[in-house]
Amino acid sequence: MLDETLDLLAPAARESAVPLFVDCTFGAGGLSRAILQRIPGSRVIALDADPHAVARAEALALEYPRRVTPVHANFARLRDVLAELEMGGVSGIAYDLGLSSLQLADAARGFAFAGEGDLDMRLDPTSDAATAAQLLATAREGEIADIIFEFGDERNARRIAREIVKRRERSPLRTTSDLVAAVLAAQPRNARGRRGGIHPATRTFLALRIAVNEDLDRLRQSLQEAIACVKPGGRIVVISFHSGEDRVVKHQFAGWRRGGEAQTLTRKPLTPTQTEIAANPRSRSAKLRAAERTRDALRRSA
Ligand SMILES: C[S@@+](CC[C@H](N)C(=O)[O-])C[C@H]1O[C@@H](n2cnc3c(N)ncnc32)[C@H](O)[C@@H]1O
């Protein structure tokens, strides 16, 4: 949905000689690169919580001198980051939520059930936040069940949580395969081996990653600050992959609309085309929403 994101961001650049964009989720840098290539004279603040992604942003900064500012930060700190940089008004802010394929492919990060790695799952492995293994070792059974049910939409959440707690009494769950084994053992007998579609551990891994990184709270915090960070006429584009994330975005956009702070540019969320889904099956649940800060916002808040 790169083209749609750019089409929605580009008009906000019209009124600035040097339009400035914030890519809150730099990842592999596809969106930042597209902004630099397609919006003349643009500059990008390239932000990511993952130091590996920031290293890629630093490489892009060498390719585009004076046009890219890499920042290692969680996007929940958006307002402070912009204040520290003192770079002036922002034309647009983009969020492409979730994980990059590079993070999923790196088994050592613990995000994927397919590879063997420690159960870390932190976007920022240099932070002192608890890992997924620590969370599973310390949370109560009910808390684990709630996480898996709420963030993973997993109907077997209670059985999985019970199995995790049973196993951790014998020995802590430390690796991705420890968790996969617990999830498989918790499958109801009649579901084993015949549940088509996704792997039985998919939803549990997703739920834990969301809990470890407090994804929904971070997004809520960031969006609350984002509207004051763009200039009047500036745009905010969010691509989400999870119903909980999309609810946060929808709710925030509705709040801005009611308060006269921004208008929604996407009456219904945009979704990927069949061609995009065929090329990248992970994009099938993507939803894109965009909003524009009200042009007389300064007058309203004065
Ligand atoms: C789907 S990828 C972005 C892909 C990117 N648009 C591209 O074109 O390559 C999501 C990225 O967002 C980062 N991320 C997720 N939540 C974050 C947060 N709260 N703060 C900062 N970065 C975050 C992840 O580390 C990951 O690198």
Q: Would you kindly state where each structural domain of the chain is located, as residue ranges?
A: 2-102+215-301, 106-213
Tell the residue nearest (CA) to atom 3 of ligand 1: 27
Q: How far apart are CA 193 and CA 246, in angstroms?
A: 32
Fold for the domain defined by 106-213: DNA polymerase; domain 1 (1.10.150)
Q: Say whether 24 sits in a helix, a strand or coil.
A: coil
Average pLDDT value for the chain: 94
CA of 282 to the centre of ligand 1 (A): 15
* The predicted structure's pLDDT at residue 281: 83
Which contacts qualify for 135-142: CB closer than 8 Å, 24 or more apart? 135/208, 135/211, 135/212, 136/164, 136/168, 136/172, 136/173, 136/179, 136/208, 137/168, 137/172, 137/173, 141/165
On the question of pLDDT at 296 being above 80, the answer is no
- Entry pTM: 0.95
Q: What is the pLDDT of residues 150-196, one digit of tens each?
A: 999 999 999 999 999 999 999 999 999 999 999 999 999 877 554 55
**Contact between residue 118 and residue 179 where contact means Cβ atoms under 8 Å apart:** no
Pocket of ligand 1 (CB under 6 A): 25, 27-31, 47-50, 53, 74-76, 96, 98-100, 123, 218
Superfamily of domain 2-102+215-301: Vaccinia Virus protein VP39 (3.40.50.150)
Q: Name the pLDDT band for 290 (thresholds 50, 70, 90).
A: very high
CA of 249 from ligand 1 middle (Å) equals 16
